[in-house]
Amino acid sequence: MTEPIATELLDREVAVFTRYLIGTTASAYICACYRDGHSTIPYRGLGTTTKFDPMLLTIARTGQAGVRLADAYARWFLPSGVLRQKLVLLLAILENAPTSSAATTRATLGSRTAVLAKICGATASGVAAIVAGLLILGPLHLVTTLVMPKHPSLDTHD
Amino acid sequence: MVGSGASGVHFALTALQRGHQVLLLDVGYERPKVPLPDATFDGLKSGLDDPVRYFLGTQWDGVTYPKGGEGSFYQHPPSKSYVFHRPATFPVSSDAINPHFTFARGGFAEAWTAGVYPFTDDDLAAFPFGYEELRPHYLEVARRIGIAAEHDDLAQFMPFDAEYLPPLDLDSHSRHLLGVYARKRMQLHQRLGFFLGRSRVATLSVAYGGRKECSSLGRCLWGCPHDAIYRPSVTLAECATYPGFTYRPGVMVKRFDYDVGGNVTGFEAASIDGKGTERHEADVFVLAAGGLPTSKIYLESLRAKTGHVGSLPGLMDNRQIHIPFLTPAMIGRDAPSSSYQFHHLAFGMPQANPAHYVHGQITTLKAAGIHPIVQSIPLDLRTSLRLFQAFRAGLGVANINLHDSRRSDSHVTLQPDSTSGLSRLILRYASDPAEAHLIDSSIATVKRALRSMGSFVPPGMTRILPKGWSVHYTGTLPMQEAEAEHTCRPNGRVNGFLNLYVADGAAFPFLPAKNLTFTLMANAVRIAEAIP
């Protein structure tokens, strides 16, 4: 795969994933860190990918809804997979980069009632994302696993 | 002598004070320069040119990727990687234990969390001496390193008779837990046998011995820039002020030579950069390289002399268990990173056999990396991050330590390689069958105690860490009264040798649950004072 396409895809990922995680635009520094860190991401060295990983990644790159759905599904059904590895790498970068650290690491302040209400809302939303992921991606995962004859290479995707 | 860890430097300082000449041989990997020494943890992120590489490492080894529920919730940061770097010339294989090694200047205590707890007579029951014999050496070490402590309910498990410094300022979560405990302590004592108090830490609450007090930068995990947290390099620097002291870094001691009468005649050391070997002669030879490297030097020396590969039974290490918890009463409060980050609180749980006392510490880290914790929440990462931020002020980890005892099926040996000439260190560990019950009962008690104090333990997040994690490798050349092969006399002299001493954890005949470093240092002082 040629390097410019890989870079373009990685930049697309970091843009979508950063907005997904903390709701802001990724700085040039964050993009550079993600490209550099991505070269050491475990799945590339270990080759521990499944047939469904590329499809999940493609869905995640489409935008906020896609990455939320794919991430919620992956947390339960591909917890150590490619998408989760990429998101965890980016989270590690965001928590340490100067422009995104506060947004990532700050505690939620307020009355206990208000914060508990936020917790309940976030949990309900998270559970809904898992259910939606299961309904939409579960069958795709099953079909991909059973039908696809060949393990597609991630090289064509990143 | 060999080794600049906690045992080695305190042995050396005592020997120097008594007028001996000391040559200390060491690999001695150095701590990298500490950046922006007056910056806070958050200040580093805005002040460094490349904060991400500082916190995650240039090789990105500071990123904790999903592993399916295994491992710790936190790990040593890249700035401490020098502590755990092992040269390729020290090959190791292990079974049922995941050992770590240090060849750093200062040893493992360059990356410790500074917990210091004296052993009692119950802890020392298997040792050939009791607390009273060790007491003056605890006092001396406390005077040297500075210990912040408070007399509280834990004093019944660890004597409170050294000249301690005032305790550190509590963070708000630890203060809350201690307040709840004060109201419920009788119930916790009587129903659960759970006792809480302040951690005793080798961290300065006031300026002491030329070191600055803790200034709440929040950089404890990455390395205190002002040495408010004691590390052996501080004592090594003090040794260097003595004219009789010579520090020789960059060499790894391979073995000692000895004659038929058991008189050690020299250390053979190899240059770490592969530029040959050197031999050092002395009147007295001291092994303080750490439990496993000391065992290897001893076995390699016997093999070179006799051709026989020996085996040292009795390898021990503390079992550690991490129990994350949440204190709902803290929700909505701030969690500032500018505070002392390591454990403020410790707990004790006595057992029917007093030597099996269970020890623990409570950490409410505010400045550790968050991505290892966030990814473990069973929801998508965005939601998990929101929940983590909401819970943040109330998050903590109870870290349980269990004792270990010597068993013949846990041992250390060598596998010689005639091709490379490098012997491989082989570790075999077999857990005590009784440990499973103690693990279960300790986890259950801590969970109930936390619940009683208003905290909540999320299901499925308790981690029983693999053997080797605590890096308290001991027991392979135990001190005992009886003369026997592969043991030490009570004064640390190795049986069968006239002038060879072990001053590190290899000589411990039992491993209590309490953090051992304070006793390592005190025992090294005790042995140095007895050297003729």
Each residue of B438-461: pLDDT tens digit? 999 999 999 999 999 999 999 888
Give the tens place of pLDDT for each residue, A8-31.
Answer: 999 999 999 999 999 999 999 999
> How many C-beta atoms surround the C-beta of residue B35 within 10 A?
16
Nearest to B381 among A41, A87, A107 (CB): A87
Residue A66: which domain range?
Answer: 7-147
User: CA B219: distance to chain centroid?
Assistant: 19
Judged against a pLDDT cut of 60, whether residue B31 lies above it is answered with: yes
Q: What is the predicted pLDDT for the residue at B365?
A: 74
The pLDDT mean for chain A works out to 89
Residue A152 lies in a domain: no
Confidence at residue A150, expressed as pLDDT on a 0 to 100 scale: 54
Q: Does residue B242 surpass a pLDDT of 80?
A: yes
Which residues from B are below 8 Å from A22, CB to CB? 385
Give chain B positions within 8 Å (CB) of A102. 42
Nearest CA in chain A to B62: A92
Question: Which residue type, as a one-letter code, is found at position B374?
Answer: V
Is A91 inside a domain boundary? yes
Q: Is A2 inside any structural domain?
A: no
Instruction: Answer yes or no: do B51 and A98 touch at CB < 8 A.
Output: yes
How many CB atoms lie under 10 A from the CB of residue B273?
9
pTM of structure: 0.94
Q: Is residue A157 part of a domain?
A: no
pLDDT tens per residue, range B480-516: 999 999 999 999 999 999 999 999 999 999 999 999 9
Question: For chain B, what percent of residues have pLDDT higher than 90?
Answer: 92
Beta strands in B272-422 (DSSP E): 277-280, 285-287, 311-313, 319-326, 345-349, 358-363, 395-402, 404-405, 411-415
Instruction: Say if residue A2's pLDDT is above 60.
Output: no
B151-170 confidence digits (pLDDT tens): 999 999 999 988 999 999 99
Q: What is the pLDDT of residue B420?
A: 76
Q: What is the pLDDT of residues B70-123, one digit of tens each?
A: 556 667 899 999 999 999 999 999 999 999 999 999 999 999 999 999 999 999
State the amino acid at position B97 in one-letter form: I
Does B56 lie at the interface with A, CB-CB under 8 angstroms? Answer: yes
pLDDT > 60? residue A153: no
Chain A residues with CB-CB distance to B332 below 8 A? 108-112, 114-115
Q: What's the number of domains chain A is made of?
A: 1
Q: Are B345 and B196 contacting, i.e. CB atoms less than 8 angstroms apart?
A: yes
Nearest Cβ partner of A80 from B56, B67, B331? B67
Cβ contacts (< 8 Å) between A78 and chain B: which residues? none
Quickly state the pLDDT bin for A3 (edges 50, 70, 90).
very low
Mean pLDDT check: name the lowest of B15-29, B107-121, B406-420.
B406-420
pLDDT at B482: 94
- Contact between residue B102 and residue B92 where contact means Cβ atoms under 8 Å apart: no
With cut-offs at 50, 70 and 90, classify the pLDDT of residue A5. Answer: very low
- What mean pLDDT comes out for the span B372-392? 95
The whole-number pLDDT of residue A156 equals 39
Query: What is the arithmetic mean of pLDDT over B196-225?
Result: 96
Return the closest-CA partner of residue B13 out of B134, B135, B127, B143: B143
Q: In this predicted structure, what is the pLDDT of residue B180? A: 98
Structure tokens at B333: 């409060």
CA Rg, chain A, in Å?
A: 17
Asked whether residue A1 is assigned to any structural domain, the reply reads no
Contacts of B181 (CB under 8 A, 6+ apart): B188, B196, B453
Q: Indicate which of A41, A83, A88 best probes the interface with B, i.e. most B CBs within 10 Å of its own CB.
A: A88
For residue A34, give the chain B residue with the closest CA. Answer: B52
Q: Is the pLDDT of residue B408 over 80?
A: yes
Q: What pLDDT score was predicted for residue A1?
A: 37
Average model confidence (pLDDT) across chain B? 95
In the numeric block, the tokens 């020494």 are attached to B37
Question: How crowded is residue B291: how many other Cβ atoms within 10 Å of its Cβ?
Answer: 29
Q: Which of B45, B385, B386 sits opposite A101 (nearest CB)?
A: B45
pLDDT at residue B287 tops 60: yes
- CA-to-CA distance for B80 and B247, rounded, in angstroms? 22
Q: B301 versus A153: which is more confidently predicted?
A: B301
Residue A155 placed within a domain: no
- CB-closest option in B65, B332, B385 to A104: B385
What part of A 28-67 touches B (C-beta under 8 Å)? 29, 33, 36-37, 40-42
Give B-chain residues touching A20 at CB under 8 angstroms.
382
Name which of B363, B379, B370 is nearest B325 in CA terms. Answer: B363
pLDDT tens for B165-210 read 999 999 999 999 999 999 999 999 999 999 999 999 999 999 999 9
Query: Is residue A158 domain-resident?
Result: no
Flag whether pLDDT at A61 surpasses 80: yes
Report, as an integer, the average pLDDT of A56-79.
Answer: 96
Inside any domain, residue A60: yes
Least confident interval from A2-6, A144-148, B39-43:
A2-6
